[in-house]
Amino acid sequence: MAVTRAAQQQQIAQLEQRVADAPLWAFDAGEGRKHFVQLCSPCHQLDNEGVDIGPSLAGSGSNGARYFIENIVDPHAVIGRDYQASLLETKDGEFFSGLIENKTATAVTIRTVTGSVTVPRTNIESLSLGELSMMPSGLLDALNERQQIELLKFLRSL
């Protein structure tokens, strides 16, 4: 079931308030790093670890907790063109979703979460720019309230 924009805005406001009310000294950023590795490193690289498919988060901690909360809760609200997923369908019926790495007259290379795939243009049924971010919605659902605050404390330290 799709989450409504109003529900996302409510979730953002609630989480922002929880973080504002939390005594951050009582939360462990080291645990937050573990949550980052679990949830974020499949697409974001940190200290040369993880996958370099999403934007760099280095230095983004100065944007504050709301920046991260908004982007995690509603990753499709604002998408940088470089991080907008492309959808490629082959004539064989295979589908790939990812970032275009390279286009030539003879082939297209698309970088997915699991790796890069080069498809000859003669085997492409369709190629289009999607309207969604590569980042899935609902990432925070895997964490309890304490873990969410730990993750946000860690992200703010970047």
- DSSP-derived secondary structure for 80-133: -GGGEEEEEEETTS-EEEEEEEEE-SSEEEEEETTEEEEEEGGGEEEEEEEEEE
pLDDT, position 55: 86
Reported as half-sphere exposure (CB side, CA atoms, 13 A), residue 109 has a value of: 5
Cα 42 to Cα 34: distance, rounded to the nearest angstrom? 13
45-66 tens-digit pLDDT: 888 887 888 888 888 888 989 9
Cα 52 to Cα 106: distance, rounded to the nearest angstrom? 25
3-51 tens-digit pLDDT: 788 889 999 999 999 999 999 888 898 999 999 999 999 889 888 887 8
Cα 154 to Cα 65: distance, rounded to the nearest angstrom? 10
Report how far apart, in Å, the C-alpha atoms of 141 and of each of 39, 54, 67, 97, 138 are: 11, 20, 18, 23, 5
72-103 tens-digit pLDDT: 999 988 888 778 889 999 999 999 999 999 99
pLDDT, position 5: 84
Q: Which residues contact 142 (CB under 8 A, 6 or more apart)?
A: 38, 39
Q: Please name each of the domains of the chain with its CATH number.
A: 5-75+135-156 (no CATH), 81-133 (2.30.30.100)
104-152 tens-digit pLDDT: 999 999 998 888 999 999 999 999 998 888 888 889 999 999 999 999 9
- Tell me how far apart the 2 most distant CA atoms of the chain are, in Å: 58
143-155 tens-digit pLDDT: 999 999 999 999 9
Closest to 34 in 3D by CA, of 23, 53, 49: 49
Tokens of 77: 């609200």
Model confidence, pTM:
0.82
Cα 89 to Cα 95: distance, rounded to the nearest angstrom? 5
